[in-house]
Amino acid sequence: NVKLGGLGPDYEAIKEKKQKLELQKEYSRQIKDYNMKNITFVQRLPKKPQVTSSVTRQKALEYAKKIPRPKTFMTRQSDKEVKEEGVLSQTSGGTCLPEIPSLETLRSRHEKEKEVVAAFKALHIL
C-alpha cells in the first residue's frame, strides 16, 4: 500500500519534530546546568590598581605648561571712534550708556551707504 499525500495534517511528521525539539531542549538544560556548576569554580583575575592616574595627570599638566599660548591681535580703532566710545552718558538710574552719535555723522554715513547701493545697482549686482 502506497499512501499518497492528503489534505489533512501529517501527525507522524509532527510527532518526530516534537521529539526532536524536546531532545534539543533537554540537551540545552544539561549544558546550562554544567556551565553554571563550572562557573562557580573559576577564579576571577584581580583588577589592576589604578595608581597611574595621578602620574598621567601630572604629565598632562606639564605638557599644558609647555604649550605656547596663541597671540591675540588687537585692532586699533581710529581716534574718532575711541572718543565716541570713551564718552559715556549717565542716566538718572546711575547706569552708563554710550553716547548717541550726532545727527550729522549719521546723515553722512547714510549718504555713503546710498552711494554704495547705487553703484551695486548700476553694476546689476543687486
Span 72-126, pLDDT tens digits: 776 655 555 555 445 455 555 556 666 677 888 889 999 999 999 888 888 876 5
Determine, yes or no, domain membership for 106: no
Q: Could you tell me if residue 70 is inside a domain?
A: no
Using CA atoms, how far residue 23 sits from 19, 32, 34, 36, 55, in Å, is: 6, 14, 17, 20, 58
Instruction: Assess if residue 68 is contained within a domain.
Output: no
Degrees, nearest 5: CA angle 89-93-96: 30
Question: 124 in a domain, yes or no?
Answer: no
What is the value of pTM for the model shown?
A: 0.29
Structurally, how many domains does the chain consist of? 1
Q: Which residues span the domain enclosing 15? A: 11-44
Can you spell out the DSSP letters for 39-55?
HHHPPPPPPPP--HHHH
Q: How many angstroms separate the CA atoms of 41 and 34, rounded?
A: 12
Alpha helices in the chain (DSSP H): 11-41, 52-66, 79-86, 103-122
Residue 101, in any domain of the structure: no
Residue 38 lies in a domain: yes
Alpha carbon separation from 97 to 30, 42, 77, 106 (Å, rounded):
85, 76, 19, 18
Confidence check: pLDDT of 44 > 80: no
> Is 15 a member of any domain?
yes
Q: Is residue 21 assigned to a domain?
A: yes
